[in-house]
Structure 1
Amino acid sequence: MRVTIAQLEVSADHSANVVVVRQACAEAALVSADLLVLPEYASGYDPRGVGIEHAESLAGPFVQLLREQSAETGVTIVAGMVTFPEGAAHGADPGPDRAAAAPRASNIVVVVRGGEVVGAYRKVHLYDAFGHRESDRLEPGDPAAPPLVVTVGDLAVGIMTCYDLRFPESARRLVDAGAQVLVVPAAWAAGPGKVDQWRVLARARAIENTCAVLAVGQAGKGVSGHSLLVGPDGSVAIELADAAAVTSADIDAAGIAAERDRNPSLANRRYTVVPVPTAPTAPLTPTD
C-alpha cells in the first residue's frame, strides 16, 4: 500500500484550506498512492479551539472536494473535519433542550473512496488535558460504536484520531477488528515534551499491536507537526519536522505478517477490550 502523508498547515479560512487539500490530492495522484491521509481538523482550524463555527455537513464543500478528488484519482482519502451534532444542520433551531447551552459540534474522521463516503469515525476521547477542553465545544463519539476498519490495497486500515493515541485500548479494539495499520489524523498540541510523547505513544501502539502506525499531524501555530510512519517493530521509518510537508512511502503487508510471526504478542495475550457504552448515536450520513 502506497501512502501519502499530508502534514498541512490548516487555517480558519475554509476556502484556503480547499486549495491546500487539492494540492495534496494532486501529489498523492502523482505518485499513484493508494491512501492519502490528511490531518485532524483539515477543513478548518483555530488554535484557540474548534467548534460549531467550523462545522460543515457531509454534503458540504469539504467532503464534496474529497469525493471529487477520490473519484478522479482513485486514491482513498482519510481526513479529519468538524460536522454538525446529531439531528442538526447549519442554522437549525437547537430545540428547547439545547437552547440554553452553546451548541457543540462533532469531530469526525471521514474515509472517502471512489467518490463516496465509505466510513466516518466520531472522536471518542476528547482532549480535556494540558489546559484544553474540547468537550466544551465538541460532542464525544460513542465508545461502543463499531470500530472503523477499511481495506486499502492489501491491508486493513483502522481509524482513530489525535488524543485517542494516548489510550491503548482504542488501538487494540481496531486491531481486534482486523486492522494491520493504524491511521491517526491529529492536531497534536504543541508544548514542552509533547513531540516526544507523540513519538513514544505512536511507537508504543505499533509495538504492542505489531502493526504499522501512520500518525499525521498538522503544521503551524499551536500544533506540533512531526508526522510519523512507524513499523510494526516500533522503528520510525519517516518523521517529518514541524513545517508543512507532503511525502509518500510504501507499507508492506508481508513485513507486518512477518513481525507478527516473529513476535506473536497478540496471540499470547490474556485480556480483551470491552468498551464502556454511552447513549447510542445514529450513523453519519451525507445529508443536509
Structure 2
Amino acid sequence: MRIGMAQITSGTDPDDNLQLVETATAEAAADGADLVVFPEATMCRFGVPLGPVAQPLDGPWASGVAEVAARHGVSVVAGMFTPDGDRVRNTLVIARPDGSRLGYDKIHLYDAFGFTESRTVAPGTEPVTVEVGDVTVGVATCYDIRFPALFTELASRGAELIVVPASWGAGPGKVHQWQVLAAARALDSTAFVAAVGQAVPEDPEVRASSAPTGTGHSQLTDPFGTVVAAYDEGVQIGVHDVDIKTAEKARTTLAVLNNQRRIPAGVYPDAELRTSL
C-alpha cells in the first residue's frame, strides 16, 4: 500500500483546517496514496478552549473529512475533538472511501511535562483497528506512543501498520524521545509505525505556548526498526510505499509477539534483595 503523511500546522478555525485536509488529501491521492494520515488536533490546535469547537462524529467537520475521503477514493485519519459532558474526547476520525467513518478516542492522556490534558479531555477505553484494502491498520494518538502494551494489543488484533497522529510538545530532548519511541513501538509490535506530527507553528506566540502545538519530525519506521522516512520540522506532505510482507517477515524472524510471556506475581526477588545483588 501507499501511505500519505500530512505534516501540517493547524490553526483555530475548523473550516480552514478542513480545507487543509482537502488540499493535502488531493495531493497525496494524486501520488497514489491509499491512506492519508493527518496529525492530532487537525480540527483545531491545542492552546485554545476545545469545548466550543467539539463536534460529534456525525457532525459537519467529520462529515467534511468523510466527503474528502470519498471524493478522492482514499482512507483519511485526522485528529478532532468530540463532546463528552464538561470535557471533550481527543478523537481520531477514520474516514473510508465509501463515505463511512469511525472514531478512536485517545486512551492515554498527556498529564506530563507540566500539561494536564485530563482536565479538559476524557479518556477513551477501546483500541481500534480498521481495514484499508487488504491491510489491517491500528490507530493511536500522540502520548499513546509511550505505552507499549497498546501497540502489542493492536498487533495481536492483526495490525500490520499502526498510525500515530500527534501534536508533540516541545522541550529539551522531546524530538529525540519521539523518534526513539516511534522506532521502539515498531519493534514492539513488529508493525510499520507511521508517526505523523504537527509541524512547528510559524507564529512565535503559538510556539511559545505551554500547550503541545507540534515539533514536526514525522517518521515512518518499518517492523525491524529501520527508519523509512524522516521529516524535518516544517510543513511537508509525503507519500511512501509500505511493503506489508516486511511485517510478515518480522513476525517470523523477530517473533516477539509469539515469544512474549506473562510474568506471574512473585517471580522476581523482592526489591530489597534485588538491590543487594
When normalised by structure 1's length, the TM-score is: 0.84
Distance in structure 1 (CA, Å) of the matches to 2:254 and 2:188: 10
Q: Distance in 2 between matches of 1:149 and 1:117?
A: 15
- Give the structure 2 partner of residue 81 of structure 1: 80
Distance 1:244 1:18 in 2: 16
Whether contact under 8 Å (2:38, 2:165) holds in the other structure is yes
Equivalent residue for 1:53?
52
Query: Identity percentage over the alignment?
Result: 41
Alignment of 1:123-202 (within 5 A): 123-142=106-125, 145=126, 147-202=127-182
One-letter identity of the residue aligned with 2:247 = I
One-letter amino acid matched to 2:101 = V
Tell whether the 8 Å contact from 1:149 to 1:157 is kept in structure 2 after alignment.
yes
Query: In the alignment, which residue of structure 2 is the partner of 1:19?
Result: 19
Aligned ranges for residues 255-266 of structure 1 at < 5 Å? 255-266=246-257
Contact 1:76 1:113 (8 Å CA) reproduced: yes
SS of the aligned residue for 1:178 comes to coil
Tell me the residue number matched to 1:30. 30
Asked if 1:107 is matched to 2:90, the reply is yes
Q: Is the 8 A contact 1:110 1:117 kept in 2?
A: no
Structure 2 unmatched ranges of 5 or more: 202-206, 208-212, 264-277
Residue 119 of structure 1, aligned match among 78, 99, 102? 102
Tell me: CA distance 1:4–1:256, structure 2 relative to 1, closer, same or farther (3 Å): same
Distance in 2 (alpha carbons) for counterparts of 1:204 and 1:64 = 34
- Cα separation, 2, equivalents of 1:203 and 1:247: 19
Residue in 1 that maps onto 2:186: 206
Check conservation: 1:68, 1:115, Cα contact below 8 A.
no
CA distance in 1 between partners of 2:259 and 2:246 (Å) = 20
User: Per-residue deviation at 1:49?
Assistant: 5.1
SS of the equivalent of 1:157 reads strand
Tell me, yes or no, if the aligned pair for 1:157 and 1:182 is still in contact at 8 Å. Answer: yes
| More divergent stretch after superposition (151-160 vs 129-138) | 151-160
In 2: Cα distance, 1:258 partner to 1:74 partner: 30
RMSD across aligned C-alpha pairs, in angstroms? 1.5
Greater fraction of residues in helix:
2
- Partner secondary structure for residue 125 of structure 1: coil
The amino acid across from 2:186 in the alignment is A
The equivalent residue for 2:269 is none
Over residues 74-116 of structure 1, what are the superposed CA-to-partner deviations in whole Å (9 max), with x where a residue is unaligned?
101111100111xx6xxxxxxxxxxxxxx21111111111343
CA distance in 2, matches of 1:252, 1:210: 13
The Cα shift of 1:253 comes to 1.1
Rounded Cα–Cα distance in structure 2 between residues aligned with 1:262 and 1:139: 39
Aligned length: 252
- Conservation of the 8 A alpha-carbon contact between 1:206 and 1:230: yes
Query: Match for 2:240: what amino acid?
Result: A
- What is the aligned partner in structure 2 of residue 67 from structure 1? 66
Task: Give the corresponding residue for 1:236.
Answer: 227
Q: Which runs of 5+ in 1 are unaligned?
A: 89-102, 273-288
Report the alpha carbon displacement of residue 57 of structure 1 after superposing the two structures with TM: 2.3
Report the AA paired with residue 148 of structure 2: P
3-state SS of paired residue (1:202): helix
Is the CA contact 2:57–2:103 (under 8 Å) kept in the aligned structure 1?
no
Give CA deviations for 1:179-223 in whole Å, capped at 9, x if unaligned: 111110100111110000000111001112211100000012342
**Contact 2:57/2:102, CA 8 A, preserved across alignment:** no
Give, in angstroms, the shift of residue 153 of structure 1. 2.5
Distance in 1 separating the partners of 2:238 and 2:39: 13
Instruction: Give SS of 1:23's match.
Output: helix
Tell me: CA distance 1:238–1:169, structure 2 relative to 1, closer, same or farther (3 Å). Answer: same
